[in-house]
C-alpha cells in the first residue's frame, strides 16, 4: 500500500489574486477536486452540482465559469472534461426537497452528494463560494472559484450542461412554459406563462413569482 498523503491545514479564504490550485499542488496535493452548483436562482427545476478530479497536468484553454461560455463551448468542454477527468460525479436535488429545505441548504446538499460520489476520494475539495460543505473531507472555499480554478470551472460546466438538458426534457412535458429557452429562470416570457397557466409540477412553489399563482 502507498503511504497516506498528508492533508493540508485548513486555510482561510485565499486572496483573490492567488492561484488556489497551484498553492495546493505545491503542498503535494494530487487528488484535488472542484465542486460547483447551478440552479439556485430559477423558479423551476432542480439544483444540480458536479464534482471533478482532474489530472495534475491537464489543461483546458479557455475553460472558465460556465455562465461566461456559449452553449457550444460549454458542450465542448463538457465532453473534454468527461474524457480526461480522473473522476466526476453529478447530483441533483429536486423541487420537493428545495421547497422543504430551502434553496441554500438544497445547494449545499447537492454539492456534498456530488463530492461523496467521487472515487478515488479527494485529498482536498475546492468549493466555489465562501461556504463549507457538510462532509468529512479537507475543503477550501474559493471566492470566484469558477473563474480561478480549472477544477471548479470544469465542475460548473458539467453541472450547467446537465441541468440545461434536464430543463429541455421538461420542455417536452410542459411546452407551455418554454423551459428549453429560459431553463426555468424568471424571464418575462416565463412569468407571463405562469400568470396564464399557473405552476406545473416542476415549479418551485415557495419561490416568489410562483407562489402567487398557486391555487
Own/partner contacts of 5-14, CB < 8 Å, gap of 24 or more, are 5/29, 5/30, 5/31, 5/123, 7/123, 7/124, 7/138, 8/124, 8/138, 10/138, 10/139, 10/140, 11/140, 13/130, 13/141, 13/142, 13/143, 14/140, 14/142, 14/143
- Residue 48 falls within a domain, yes or no? yes
- Residue 95 falls within a domain, yes or no? yes
- Residue 203 falls within a domain, yes or no? no
**pTM for this prediction:** 0.91
Share of the chain above pLDDT 90, in %: 85
CATH of the domain at 38: 3.30.420.10
- Residue 165 falls within a domain, yes or no? yes
C-alpha cell at position 204: 418551485
What's the structural domain count of the chain?
1
Q: What is the DSSP letter of 168?
A: H
Domain limits for position 123: 20-172
pLDDT in tens, 68-85: 999 999 999 999 999 999
**Residue 11 scores a pLDDT above 70:** no
pLDDT in tens, 155-202: 999 999 999 999 999 999 999 999 999 999 999 999 999 999 999 999
* pLDDT for residue 17: 53
Amino acid at each position: 500500500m502507498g503511504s497516506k498523503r498528508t492533508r493540508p491545514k485548513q486555510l482561510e479564504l485565499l486572496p483573490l489574486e492567488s492561484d488556489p490550485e497551484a498553492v495546493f499542488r505545491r503542498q503535494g496535493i494530487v487528488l484535488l477536486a472542484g465542486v460547483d452548483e447551478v440552479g439556485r436562482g430559477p423558479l423551476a427545476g432542480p439544483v444540480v452540482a458536479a464534482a471533478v478530479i482532474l489530472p495534475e497536468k491537464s489543461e483546458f484553454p479557455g475553460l472558465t465559469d460556465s455562465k461566461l461560455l456559449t452553449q457550444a463551448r460549454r458542450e465542448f468542454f463538457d465532453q473534454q472534461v468527461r474524457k480526461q477527468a480522473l473522476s466526476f460525479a453529478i447530483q441533483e436535488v429536486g423541487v420537493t426537497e428545495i421547497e422543504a429545505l430551502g434553496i441554500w441548504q438544497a445547494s449545499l446538499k447537492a454539492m456534498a452528494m456530488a463530492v461523496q460520489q467521487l472515487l478515488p476520494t479527494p485529498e482536498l475539495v475546492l468549493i466555489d463560494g465562501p461556504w463549507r460543505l457538510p462532509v468529512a473531507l479537507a475543503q477550501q472555499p474559493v471566492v470566484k472559484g469558477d473563474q480561478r480554478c480549472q477544477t471548479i470551472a470544469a465542475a460548473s460546466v458539467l453541472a450547467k450542461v446537465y441541468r440545461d438538458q434536464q430543463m429541455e426534457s421538461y420542455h417536452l412535458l410542459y411546452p407551455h412554459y418554454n423551459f428549453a429557452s429560459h431553463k426555468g429562470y424568471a424571464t418575462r416570457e416565463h412569468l407571463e406563462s405562469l400568470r396564464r397557466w399557473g405552476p406545473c409540477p416542476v415549479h418551485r412553489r415557495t419561490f416568489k413569482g410562483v407562489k402567487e399563482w398557486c391555487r
